[in-house]
Structure 1
Amino acid sequence: MTSLIAVFAVFSRNIRTAIRYPLGLANTVLFTPLYQMVLPTLLLGAAFLVNGNASGLEQTAGTDDLPGWLMLGMAVSAWIIGVITTVAVDLQSGRATGTLEIQWTGGVRPTVLTFGSALAGFALTTLASLLLLVLAVFLLGARFRLEGLPVALLISLVMLVAVTGIALALAALILLIRRGDAVLDILGYVIAIFSGIAFPVVVLPGPLFAFSLVWPTTWGLDLLRHALIDSRTIFPEPTMWTFFLLESALAFIVGMFLFSRAVRVIRRHGTISQF
C-alpha cells in the first residue's frame, strides 16, 4: 500500500509540474515531435508517392496508409523518449537540488519512486499521441480500425512495461556516470529509430535488422500497426506476441536489476548527490 501511495505521489507531482508550464509541456510532447520527426518524415514519404499511393510501403508493410503508419510510429517514439526523459530529469533534478538522498531515505525503494516518474511520462506522451492520431485522421486521411482498439490498449499496457524497463536501465547509466544527458538523448533516439518508427525494419541489412529485433518496442509497434491499420506483421502474429511479451518482461527485469545495482553502488561510494 505504501508503494502504491508513493507511485501516485510521484505521478501526481510530475503531472502538476507539467500543468504549471503548459507551453513547455506542449513543446515537449507535441510541437517537438511534430517538427523534428512527424512532418519531415511524412513529407519525405509523400515525395515518393506513386500516383498518390505509397506503393513501396504497401510492398514492405502491407498497407498504403502512410499517415496512419507514420503517426503510430511517432506515438511509440513519444512513449520511448518521453518516459526515458521524465525518469532522467527527475533523477538529475533531485541530485542537483540535493533532494534525491532525502527521497531515498523515506522508507520507499528508489525503484518504486522511479515507477511514478515513468508512469507520468507515459501518461503525458499518450495524451499528446492521441491528439496527433486525431489530427492524422481529420487532416491527413489516416484510416484507423476502431475494432482494433481493445488489442491496441493491451499492446499499450505491455509497452508501458517495456519502456519502463528500458528507462530504468538508462537511469542506471545516468546514476553511474552522472552527467549523461548527451548519452541519454542519443540512446533514446537510437532505440526509437531502430524500433521502426519511420521505416519498415525489414529493409535493414541483416545485422541491423537483428539489432532492431532486440528491442521489445519493435515487436510492439508492429503489432500496434497491425491492430489499427491492418499492416502486415514481420513474422506470424503468434510469434510476434510471444517475443513482444518475453522481451518486455526481460527488459523490465533487467532494467530493475541494473537500476537497483546502480543505487547500491552510488550509496556505497557516497555519490548520491555528488557531481
Structure 2
Amino acid sequence: MEIKGIISKLYAFLYIRGFKVWSSYRTQVILTVLSWTLPVFTYYFIGTSLGNKVVQDIHVTNYTSFFVIGLAFQGYVSSVITTISQRIRNEQLYGTIEYYVLSKSGVLSFLIYSAIWGFTINTINAVIILTIGDLLGVRYEINILSTLVLTLLLISSTLGIAFMSAASTMIIKQGNPISFFFSTFTTLLGGVVFPVTIMPSEVTYISYALPLTWALNGLRNAMLYGYGIFQVLKCIEILLLFNIILIPLGLLMYSFSFKKAREKGTLGEY
C-alpha cells in the first residue's frame, strides 16, 4: 500500500504537475532547451577564438571538456533550489499551501516530491549538454560507479540547501537570498567554467565552501579519465561531510520557519 502511494505521488508530481504542465507551454520548452544549449556554444567559441591561451591559463588540456562537465552538473544546484523555493512561492500566491499543510503528506513531502521534478528536468539538461560536448569533440572515459556516487552526493547536499531556501521563502516571501546566490554565483565560484585556483585566494576560500566545487573536481576525473572510487575518495569524503551538515541544518531551518509562519498566521501570505 505504501509503495502504491509513493508511485501515485511520483506520477502526480513528475508527470501531471511536472512534465505535463511543463510540456504544455511549447514556447517555454523551446526557450528552456535553448538556455541549456547556448552557453555550451558560447564557451566553446570563446575557447576556440582564444586558442591555446585559455588552455594554458587554466592548466587543462581541453577547455571544452572542462566547461561541459561544469555546465552539465551546475544545473542540479540552480534547478533544484529554484524549483523548491518557486513551488513554495507559487502555492502562497495560489492560496493552496494550506491544503498541503492539512494533507496526509504535509508540506515536507510536497517539497521532496517537487525536488524530484527538479532532479528529472536537470538530468535531461545534463544529457543534452554532455551529448553536445561529444559532438564538439569531448572524449569521455566514464567510471559509472564514481560518477553515480558523486552525482548523488551533490544532489543530496543540494537538497539540504534547497530546504534552507524554502525556509527563507516561507518567512520573507520575496527576494530569496539563498536561491539567488546558488542559482547565480555558483557558475562563477564553483569552478564551472574555469578552475577556482586562478581566482584571488580570498575568493577561493568561498569556492571550497561550496559542495559543487568538490563535486565537479571529482566528476571531471571520473568522467574524463575514468577515475575509480578510491581515486576520487577525497571529494567523496568532503561531500559526505557537506551532507552531514547541510541536510540536518536545512531541515532544522525549514521546520523552524514553518512553525513561525504558522504561529504568526503568515503561512499563506505573499
User: So what's the TM-score if we normalise by structure 1?
Assistant: 0.86
Tell me, in whole angstroms, the C-alpha distance in 1 between the residues paired with 2:196 and 2:251.
Answer: 28
Contact between 2:92 and 2:268, CA under 8 Å: does it hold in 1?
Answer: yes
Aligned residue in 1 for 2:46:
44
Gaps of 5+ in 1: none
- Does residue 143 (structure 1) correspond to residue 139 (structure 2)? The answer is yes
Of residues 84, 104, 108, the one that matches 1:107 is: 104
Aligned residue in 2 for 1:199:
194
Of residues 113, 126, 129, the one that matches 1:129 is: 126
| Equivalent runs, 1:9-158 vs 2, <5 Å | 9-12=12-15, 13-28=17-32, 30-35=33-38, 37-50=39-52, 54-57=55-58, 59=59, 63-138=60-135, 140-146=136-142, 148-158=143-153
Deviation string 1:141-189 (CA, Å, 9 cap, x unpaired) is 011113x233212211122101111111112111111012677334421
Tell me, in whole angstroms, the C-alpha distance in 1 between the residues paired with 2:234 and 2:37.
Answer: 33
Tell me, in whole angstroms, the C-alpha distance in 1 between the residues paired with 2:113 and 2:178.
Answer: 23
Tell me, in whole angstroms, the C-alpha distance in 1 between the residues paired with 2:233 and 2:61.
Answer: 24
Tell me, in whole angstroms, the C-alpha distance in 1 between the residues paired with 2:170 and 2:77.
Answer: 19
Tell me, in whole angstroms, the C-alpha distance in 2 between the residues paired with 1:254 and 1:26.
Answer: 37
Of residues 249, 263, 269, the one that matches 1:254 is: 249
Report sequence identity in percent. 21
User: So what's the TM-score if we normalise by structure 2?
Assistant: 0.87
Contact between 2:161 and 2:246, CA under 8 Å: does it hold in 1?
Answer: yes
What is the root-mean-square deviation in Å for CA atoms of aligned residues?
2.4
Tell me, in whole angstroms, the C-alpha distance in 1 between the residues paired with 2:197 and 2:42.
Answer: 21
| SS across alignment from 1:173 | helix
Contact between 1:168 and 1:255, CA under 8 Å: does it hold in 2?
Answer: yes
Alpha-carbon spacing, 1:99–1:6, altered in 2? closer, same or farther (3 Å): farther
Tell me, in whole angstroms, the C-alpha distance in 2 between the residues paired with 1:5 and 1:104.
Answer: 21
Deviation string 1:200-251 (CA, Å, 9 cap, x unpaired) is 011222221111111111111110011011399xxx8432221111113322
Tell me, in whole angstroms, the C-alpha distance in 2 between the residues paired with 1:50 and 1:5.
Answer: 51
Contact between 2:55 and 2:63, CA under 8 Å: does it hold in 1?
Answer: yes
Count of aligned positions: 263
Alpha-carbon spacing, 1:21–1:182, altered in 2? closer, same or farther (3 Å): farther
Alpha-carbon spacing, 1:190–1:112, altered in 2? closer, same or farther (3 Å): same
**Which residue identity is paired with 1:253?**
P
Aligned residue in 2 for 1:239:
234
Tell me, in whole angstroms, the C-alpha distance in 2 between the residues paired with 1:176 and 1:78.
Answer: 26
**Which residue identity is paired with 2:20?**
R
Tell me, in whole angstroms, the C-alpha distance in 1 between the residues paired with 2:112 and 2:19.
Answer: 14
**Which residue identity is paired with 1:144?**
Y
**Which residue identity is paired with 2:211?**
P
Of residues 176, 181, 189, the one that matches 2:184 is: 189
| SS across alignment from 2:190 | coil
